[in-house]
């Protein structure tokens, strides 16, 4: 096996293991793995620093100028995988080092069941949205696989199917619902919900800018027809992305 093939295989494996592993950790909620026995103020300060570290890394590395600078030093096919690996490492650090504080209240009875129902609905919506992106490449390995097969990387294309007919960012919407449907109320959970919700909304606007630059008029037409996060207009026609 050639040296480049070994590098390609190692990059694919690392992206899958680190990327999927960190998301799996987050699914169980932040905190509890490493207790540093900090005061409430100290715990919240560390939690905020961890959150900001992830926000900066996750948002800066995906920007077009940053990717262009990295491409001058790293084979371009590795950029997506490096982004996924780096994000996974930082996210895993957030989850493991997140400091919990005392629980103020826990929803019971109908409120708890409502939260569970919302969580299940959001999880189903997330799976539906993910499955609708047939060419989505969250781990950044599509370019590496294309290179190994001697094929050009598939060009980006607007896909309007499933929940993407209702909102432009259904995955972000489902994540926001999962944040706030949690039955526990504590200082660290409230901090998590506020900071991460604000970041999701900000990341949505930043992503919109990149998508508009990449897809042009086609995405502008999609923006005019389909809401960003709240499905108040009804579904767009399935052929909208082909116009």
List pLDDT tens digits, range 156-199.
Answer: 677 788 999 999 999 899 989 989 998 989 999 999 999 999 99
pLDDT bin (cut points 50, 70, 90) of residue 26 is low
Question: What is the reported pLDDT for 203?
Answer: 86
Task: Quickly state the pLDDT bin for 27 (edges 50, 70, 90).
Answer: low
Percentage with pLDDT > 70 across the chain: 91
Per cent of the chain over pLDDT 90 is: 39
Distance CA 200, CA 203 (A): 5
Q: Is 52 left (phi over 0), alpha (psi -120 to 50) or beta?
A: alpha
**What is the model's pTM?**
0.84
Whether the Cβ atoms of residue 15 and residue 84 lie closer than 8 Å to each other? yes
Tokens describing residue 194: 């506020």
Confidence check: pLDDT of 125 > 90: yes
Confidence of residue 84 (pLDDT cuts 50, 70, 90): confident
How far is it, in rounded angstroms, from Cα 192 to Cα 172? 15
């Amino acid at each position: 096996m050639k040296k480049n093939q070994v590098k390609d295989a190692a990059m694919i494996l690392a992206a899958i293991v680190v990327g999927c592993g960190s998301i799996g950790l987050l699914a169980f909620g932040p905190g509890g793995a490493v207790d540093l026995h900090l005061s409430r103020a100290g715990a919240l300060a560390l939690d905020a620093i961890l959150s900001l570290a992830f926000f900066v890394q996750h948002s800066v590395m995906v920007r077009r100028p940053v990717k262009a600078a990295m491409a001058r030093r790293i084979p371009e096919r590795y950029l997506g995988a490096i982004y996924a690996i780096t994000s996974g490492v930082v996210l895993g650090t957030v989850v493991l080092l997140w400091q919990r504080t005392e629980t103020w209240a826990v929803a019971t009875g109908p409120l708890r069941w409502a939260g569970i129902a919302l969580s299940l609905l959001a999880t189903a919506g997330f799976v539906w949205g993910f499955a609708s992106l047939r060419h989505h490449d969250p781990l950044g390995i599509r370019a590496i696989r294309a290179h190994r097969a001697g094929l050009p990387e598939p060009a980006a294309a607007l896909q309007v199917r499933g929940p993407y007919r209702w909102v432009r960012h259904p995955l972000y919407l489902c994540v926001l619902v999962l944040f706030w449907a949690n039955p526990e109320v504590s200082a660290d959970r409230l901090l998590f919900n506020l900071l991460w919700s604000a970041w999701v909304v900000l990341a949505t606007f930043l992503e919109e800018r990149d998508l508009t630059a990449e897809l042009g008029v086609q995405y502008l037409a999609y923006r005019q027809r389909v809401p960003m996060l709240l499905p108040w207009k009804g579904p767009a026609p399935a052929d909208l992305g082909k116009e």
